[in-house]
Amino acid sequence: MANTTPSDVQLGLDTFGDVTRDESGELLSGAETIRNVVEQAVLADEVGLSFFGVGEHHRSEFAVSSPEIVLAAAAARTRRIHLGTAVTVLSSDDPVRVFERFSTLDAVSRGRAEVILGRGSFIESFPLFGYDLRDYEVLFDEKLDLFSQLLTEKPVTWSGTTRASLQDAHVFPKTEQGLKAWVGVGGTPESVVRAARYGYGLMLAIIGGPAGRFRPFVDLYHRSLDTFGRDRLPIGVHSPGHIADTDQQAWDEAYAGFEAMNNTIGRERGWPAYNRLRFQHDVGPEGALYVGSPETVARKIADTVTTLGVDRFDMKFSTGTLSHDHMMRSIELYGTKVAPLVRELLA
């Protein structure tokens, strides 16, 4: 059973700023998509959700390459919801600049900023910013080590192979109460241990298969925290989903977006063509898609929270060309219907 009590479970949302279509079927501009993301964050705050995450990408299907700027716009129009990334590709960025940007976001949001750091499942940022993919592992490990020191907000002395050394360096602005930081993990034990070693929260990206297969990673994280002498740290789950008034409506609305995105990425990675049979498996108990009516999605989230003992569940509500209107309705139902049902089921 989960250690989390119903009142403690946080429900959040993630988006990659997928470029969507309008009512006539035309693709929106990146600019309009970004403005829509801000509106989605505002609604998420209004319906009482805990977190709104924006992913960083550098390709045509996704409009957001600078999440912190979008999140700053959302911070000016929201009051309670925490704002962060899903994820920040630390390997192809500079840890000092990442800290500076997020400590600035923390200031304008009055302490609501979070950063989720990752290696990136997409690799476009590496050649774009001049990094060699052969350094994929060392880039992340060294930069995560440096970022861990920056989080102390004390003078930093650091040396490595991937950037210039620092000697008693102060980084500004300082935060008022510290910056909350996570590491996003796709399913490798080494990444789980690394998150525990450096003292980050663990965000599990579950985008395929049943949630239960990630239980060994949760147990490994707890054991690793004990080994490194660290107190309990939060664990979250990130998974795709969509909510409508009925299961059939949710499936019908979501399928085209999932098909388009899976086939676009699949052509690059050698995946088989996506189809309805695969989709219906993925929305079932053994799949990683949280798509359906509020009741269906709430049951699946509650099962995941119970199975893994997690503190937060973030639903990636944007997928492919799913329309802004459908996403807004999904957010509304998530906050007003799903969240109360999840807490009732956990109770």
Q: Which pLDDT band holds residue 210 (cuts at 50, 70, 90)?
A: very high
Whole-number Cα distances in Å, 215 to 157, 298, 321, 331: 37, 20, 32, 28
Q: What backbone torsions phi and psi does residue 15 show, to the nearest 5 degrees?
A: -145, 150
CA–centroid distance for 283 within its chain: 20
Q: Which one-letter amino acid corresponds to residue 346?
A: L
pLDDT above 70 as % of the chain: 98
pLDDT above 60 (res 3): no
pLDDT value, residue 1:
39
Peptide bond into 189 cis (omega under 30): no
Instruction: Tell me the CB-side half-sphere exposure of residue 284, using CA atoms within 13 A.
Output: 7
Average pLDDT over residues 288-297: 98
- Nearest CA to 15 out of 95, 70, 78, 75 is that of 70
Give yes or no for residue 19 having a pLDDT over 60: yes
Confidence of residue 5 (pLDDT cuts 50, 70, 90): low
pLDDT in tens, 76-106: 999 999 999 999 999 999 999 999 999 999 9
| Interatomic CA distance for residues 312 and 339, integer angstroms | 12
As a whole number, mean pLDDT of residues 63-82 equals 98
Q: Tell me the percentage of the chain whose pLDDT exceeds 90.
A: 95
Quickly state the pLDDT bin for 121 (edges 50, 70, 90).
confident
Global pTM? 0.96
Examine the pLDDT at 7 and tell me if it is beyond 70.
no
Q: Where are the alpha helices (DSSP H) in 50-154?
A: 67-75, 95-108, 125-128, 136-150
Q: Before 156, cis peptide (omega within 30)? A: no
Q: Rounded to the nearest 5°, which phi and psi values hold at 238?
A: -120, 120
- pLDDT (mean) for 215-237: 98
pLDDT > 70? residue 4: no
What's the whole-number mean pLDDT along residues 205-224?
Answer: 97
H helical segments located in 165-246: 189-198, 215-227
Give me the chain's average pLDDT, please: 96
